[in-house]
Structure 1
Amino acid sequence: MGEAVMTGTVRSADGTSIAYERSGTGPPVILVDAAGGFREMGPMRSLAAHLAKEFTVLTYDRRGRGQSTDTSPYAPQREVEDLRALIDDAAGGSAALYGFSSGAVLALLAATGGLPVTRLAVLEPPFEQREQSPDEPDLAADITRLVADGRRGDAVLHFQRSIGVPAEMIDGMRERPGWPALQALAHTLVYDLTLLTALPAGALTTLTIPTLVLDSEQSDARLRGWARGVAEMLPAGRHRTLPGEWHGVSDEVLAPVLAEHFAGRPD
């Protein structure tokens, strides 16, 4: 590891300041976090250390998280513009993208939106090809209401339970060191929920960028089914299952697979 890390900010189209860090040398790769993740908390910083041996890797705080600012009102396109600013001003004009969970949907949205993305890899994008029933609970409204009532911790736990996080991963969350940071970004969980409905299924059928769609062998059938479905829609999509845990794969397993894909090497 031991790669030098440079920090900086770029300014998005609406004036939002997006904080990032860059390490390594080689073709640029941008890592896109899931709900609740940012540079100080989540898998991307350690994954970047593995990939920096071969690539210039950028990790960043999505808007409203960490050291990035926020601008209302939120719209998924604003996050695409954040990625455009990173590509233009920090990555040299083009980049590969890796996205995890809702960050995977954001990466797909950016690629289908015409950003100069060279290659794409996504881990378990929660993308479902169906309309939400009027009878289904409105999770975004629930989170908004809890945050407005000052119940940020309850909002985080309600989100986790509602998306199917196993109970053993939720138990004791309030006592963990990262709990205050999770509460601080509770409002951004609505952003991720909004993203999930922003990507038209038809857009995937025209995306010709080489795309690797990954899932973990220990994830549930719903997550793995979503990954297979996305791969099947993509003209240049390829699906692969990796050893891992529920909704996650270790850096030691994931990094070599991503490196092969981003370098265009056969696996």
Structure 2
Amino acid sequence: MTEYTDTSAGDRIGFDRYGSGPGVVFVAGAGPFRAQDATTTETARLAAEQGVQALVYDRLGRGDSPADGDLTLDRELAAIAAAIDEVGGSAVLVGHSSGCSIALAAADAGLPVTALALWEAPIGQFEGGAAGFEADFLRHLDAGDLDAAQREYMRDMPPEFLEGAMQDPSWPQIVLGSRSYRADARSLAWAEELPADERYARIAVPVLVMVGEHTFPGMTESAEALQAAIPSATFRVMPGAMHEWEAGPMATAIAQLAAQGG
């Protein structure tokens, strides 16, 4: 059953809660929300069976978290803070793709984060740098051309991703979702604005950096660079493919991290 909570920025987020124990909050990347993300839901349920309180919320502008105006990174961090409050005031953040850079920004901002689990963070993978990527994406988004914004956002992904998305009957709905990617683009640019060791200097909690056994070129290198830049980080190759994890092993890794970080 969907629950709701209000954020300090005046937004309302919808979420599902599973289990009890140390808090875990899942932070999606660009696109997914609860109704279409069965893997994250199953992971949260399995993690809850291992003694955590797992919360899966819809990012602003998606699913049960409708929001107007510019969906900034600050508003997204306020949503994460509200989600953390719902699980007892502190939590492990589980970031997926660009949700990793948002989770890192949340920890850097001083939110009560006990640990970070980061799955395939696309940090440092944009041709010409993430600042240029953000500027190009926002030029289309701010002009109201959501189709161009969506295509721009996917420009450095494997070409088959964009080709498949554009052929999907749900492409018009995918395009509408691009207005919720402002925080993703900002967090990815934020991650590159300082040298990595300086950028993550304030992150002292345990960090588990992960990639799937069958991942895309560059993902492992990005993960290894994160692990090298964050003294508290470890790197692990996990069961998974096509940018997705397998629910069972991921749930166990998250529950173990929550036990350490809590």
State the TM bucket, normalised to the shorter chain: 0.7 to 0.9
Query: What runs of 5+ residues in structure 2 fail to find an aligned partner?
Result: none
Corresponding position: 1:188 with 2:180: yes
Decide whether the 8 Å contact of 1:7 with 1:20 is kept in 2: yes
Q: CA RMSD in A?
A: 2.8
Structure 1, residues 141-174: CA drift from partner, whole Å, max 9, x if none?
54445556765445434432x122341x444434
Give, in angstroms, the shift of residue 138 of structure 1: 4.3
Corresponding position: 1:165 with 2:154: no
Aligned length: 255
Partner of 1:222 in structure 2? 218
Q: How does 1:9-158 map to 2 (within 5 A)?
A: 9-42=4-37, 43-54=39-50, 55-88=52-85, 90-128=86-124, 132=128, 138-144=132-138, 146=140, 152-158=146-152
1:204–1:170 distance in 2 versus 1, CA, 3 Å: same
Query: What runs of 5+ residues in structure 1 fail to find an aligned partner?
Result: 1-5
Give, in angstroms, the shift of residue 62 of structure 1: 1.1
Question: Using the alignment, how far apart are the partners of 1:129 and 1:85 within structure 2?
Answer: 30
Decide whether the 8 Å contact of 1:143 with 1:189 is kept in 2: no
More deviation in 182-191 or 205-214? 182-191
- Letter in structure 2 aligned against 1:159: Y
Decide whether the 8 Å contact of 2:16 with 2:55 is kept in 1: yes
Q: Secondary structure, in 3 states, of the residue corresponding to 1:92?
A: coil
Decide whether the 8 Å contact of 1:97 with 1:117 is kept in 2: yes
TM-score, normalised on structure 2? 0.84
Decide whether the 8 Å contact of 1:14 with 1:71 is kept in 2: no
Question: Using the alignment, how far apart are the partners of 2:133 and 2:248 within structure 1?
Answer: 34
Decide whether the 8 Å contact of 1:206 with 1:234 is kept in 2: no
Question: Using the alignment, how far apart are the partners of 2:170 and 2:21 within structure 1?
Answer: 33
Q: Secondary structure, in 3 states, of the residue corresponding to 1:9?
A: strand
- Letter in structure 1 aligned against 2:76: E
- Letter in structure 1 aligned against 2:96: F
Decide whether the 8 Å contact of 1:32 with 1:99 is kept in 2: yes
Give, in angstroms, the shift of residue 130 of structure 1: 10
TM-score, normalised on structure 1? 0.83
- Letter in structure 1 aligned against 2:186: T
Residue identity over aligned pairs, in percent, reads: 31
Q: Secondary structure, in 3 states, of the residue corresponding to 2:189?
A: coil
Question: Using the alignment, how far apart are the partners of 2:181 and 2:77 within structure 1?
Answer: 17
Q: Secondary structure, in 3 states, of the residue corresponding to 1:264?
A: helix
**Structure with greater proportional helix content:** 2
